[in-house]
Structure formats: C-alpha cells, structure tokens
Amino acid sequence: MTAKSGVLRLMFPLYATRHCLTCHGEPRGEADQMGYPKEGLKLGQNAGAISVVIPIQK
C-alpha cells in the first residue's frame, strides 16, 4: 500500500497444477479443449499472478 496511490494491492502467484495442464500443458501450440493453443507449462511452473486492487478511503 502506498499513501500516494490510496489503494491496497495484493498479488498472488499462480502455479500450474495437474488440472491446469489439460489446457496449458504440453505439447505447446496444440489446441486445448477450448480451442486455444496450449502454453507448454510443466507441473509446478509459475503460470502468472492474480492482482487485486482495493481503494482505501481515508
């Protein structure tokens, strides 16, 4: 949190579980069940992050 921005920002890392690999696993580029290309992630690999920004009132 910074005084200037007036927001509380939380970030959570996302790690690939077995469940994620159905759509984001290997082989990279092959279409997943949704029709999007897979990213080639491996189990436990960082897949991104969730960022939550909450405005704080003074």
The alpha carbon of residue 33 and the mean position of all alpha carbons in its chain are separated, in whole angstroms, by 19
Minimum Å distance from CB 35 to ligand HEC? 8
Subset of residues 16 to 45 that bind ligand HEC, contact rule: CB under 6 A: 16-17, 19-20, 22-24, 32-34, 36
CB of 54 to ligand HEC, least distance (A): 21
Contact partners, residue 22, CB within 8 Å, separation at least 6: 32, 33
Question: What is the smallest separation between the CB atom of 45 and ligand HEC, expressed in angstroms?
Answer: 9
Using an 8 Å Cβ cutoff, are 14 and 46 in contact? yes
